[in-house]
Every structure is written in C-alpha cells, then in structure tokens.
Homo-oligomer: A and B are copies of this chain.
Amino acid sequence: MEKIQTKIETGDCLEILNHYPDNYFDLIITSPPYADSRAKTYGGVKPEKYVEWFLQRSKEFLRVLKPSGTFILNIKEKVDEGERHTYVIELIMEMRKQGWRWTEEFIWHKKNCHPGKWPNRFRDAWERCLQFNKSKNFNMYQDNVMVPMGDWAKTRLKTLGKNDIVRFNSKVGSGFGKNISNWVGRTMAYPSNVLHLATETSNKSHSATFPRMLPEWFIRLFTKEGDIVLDPFLGSGTTCEVAKELKRSSVGIEILPEYVKIAKESVKEDQFVLFEKRGKYERKIKKGHNKIRRTASRRVSSKTA
C-alpha cells in the first residue's frame, strides 16, 4: 500500500502555501473562521473586509489545487443588523472572477441545531457547503457515498420480476425508463445535495468544529486512497484525522498554537496506534465504517418506519 502522510503546519495559510507547488492537492475542504468570529484568534476579520481577506487565500487555493480537484467551502453568513450579510454571495461572485467554477451548493442540514428564540427569526439549521472547481471535469467517486434506498423499493421492486414492465412516457421523459428490471434487487441509491448530519456535541475544547461526517463524506466523494487533502483552516484537526483514517494524505494549516497542539496530538496518537497496535487500528477503521453504515441505516429505517 502506498504510504500516506499527515502534516500539520502552524501559521497563516497565505504564507504557508507559498511552499507548496502548483496542482498539488486533490481536495481542499475547510470551514474558515466566519467573519467577526474567533476575533481573538484570527484578528477578527470584519464582514466588510471578509471577501478581500478570503480572496487572497482562495487565490492560493486555486493555484495548489489539481485541475481534477475540488474545493469545498463550508460557510454561513452571519446576521448583521437584522439582515443576512452578503459576504458569502459576494465571495462566490468574486471567486468566479478569480477563475473558480461554482459547480454546486450542498446544504448541510444541522439536525440538532442550537435551540433559541428570537422575535423575528427562527433557529438557523443549515449551512452552505459550496463546491468550487478549476475545470468542468473533476474526479467524483459517487459510489463511495451511496445510501440505502427508501422502503418503497422493497415492496415495489420486488414484485416487478417480469422482464418488460414499460412506462411509455409520451410527453415528459421522466419517471422510470424502459428497463425497470435493472432496478429489481437494488438496495442503494445515490444521495442528493442535501446532507442531514447532526452537529457534534463533542467534548473537543474548541469552537466551530464541524462533525466528522462532513469532511468524511466529501473526502470519500472527491478523493481515492492515497490522494492528498488540504484543510487551510484546520482548527483542532478533524479533517486530518478523518483523512488519515480514510488512508488519504493530508496537510492541515492552523494559525492558533493551541489548536495546532490539539491537532498534532490527535494525529500522533493515531500514528502510535497505526505502527504499534495494528489490530486496534483495524478495529478503529472498522468502527468508522460501521458508524457510517449505522448512520445511514438509521436514516433509512427512519424513512421506512
């Protein structure tokens, strides 16, 4: 098996990435400090300055990303003076001018978002996962993220054993095609662009951690084993941890020493386990897979009960 590397660097990604060559990463995935948040750690970028601040860095991301690669940006605009701020949509416009293609916008539906009540606003239960690419053709491994089919399939497809059940679509070319027999016995379906993930209420001592499932899903979708992933705003190291479990190399960049420390410890622990207790590592991987499967099956049973 190919050897994978996990590297965590301390500093501003704008500087650190200077040392990396063009077309180097297969996937960039990150959840950057939102405007005005983490004021003490990142200098508190003001919403008005956010686009400018980010564009300098996204220019570097564009350079180090492979043409076949993908950039996933998890972000959500803050409320400012009772309005949604426009820095995110401005950023999309400006990144396109920079050369990025805005391929898709995934929705992360936060199933257990924070409770709260305001007179003119409901709880914010979703975030954007913006997909940007350098070219029209990029790598996408859809089979890696298939989900169990809805229960309707069990009852319906089961009975369609006869070879030619044909739906004549006279006007609209939608619905089942002519070869429904292809579908008999299928149990998995491709997902949509809406992700239902709970936020992690974990104990990790830092803010704004995204749940492991989020980077995991995108890493599985847009990379294969041995590929190399970048998270330029690593935080406490989730992306690198997940990448490593999935046998992808990764580079994480984080400006705040406390976070770097946490991140390095997680990864170091993994290395220890990897080299000295292989059995346990295997179990860990398996556990990860089971976790995914369990989640998926929970979703399905939820759909079918």
Q: Which residues of A contact B (CB under 8 A)?
A: 81-84, 86, 89-90, 92-93, 96, 101-105, 107, 109, 113-115, 117, 119-126, 136-138, 140, 142, 174, 189-194, 301-305
**Contact A123 to B193, CB < 8 A, known contacts A82-B136, A103-B83:** yes
Find chain B residues with CB under 8 A from A123 CB.
190-193
* Structural contact, B89 and A125, CB atoms closer than 8 A: no
Find chain B residues with CB under 8 A from A136 CB.
81-82, 120
Kindly name the residue among A126, A142, A194 whose own CB sees the greatest number of chain B CB atoms within 10 A. Answer: A194
Q: A84-B103, A120-B137 are in contact. List 15 more A-B contacts (CB 8 A).
A: A84-B104, A84-B105, A86-B93, A89-B89, A89-B93, A90-B93, A103-B120, A107-B109, A113-B192, A115-B189, A117-B142, A122-B191, A123-B192, A123-B193, A125-B192
* Structural contact, A102 and B83, CB atoms closer than 8 A: yes
Kindly name the residue among A122, A136, A140, A305 whose own CB sees the greatest number of chain B CB atoms within 10 A. Answer: A122
* Structural contact, A193 and B89, CB atoms closer than 8 A: no
* Structural contact, B301 and A194, CB atoms closer than 8 A: no
Nearest Cβ in chain B — how far from A81, in angstroms? Answer: 7
CA A46 – CA B193 in complex, angstroms?
A: 25
When C-beta atoms are compared, the residue in chain B nearest to A192 turns out to be B125
Query: A303 is contacted by which of B103, B142, B191, B302 (Cβ under 8 Å)?
Result: B302
Nearest Cβ in chain B — how far from A193, in angstroms? Answer: 5
* Structural contact, B303 and A124, CB atoms closer than 8 A: no
Find chain B residues with CB under 8 A from A83 CB.
101-103
CA A190 – CA B115 in complex, angstroms?
A: 9
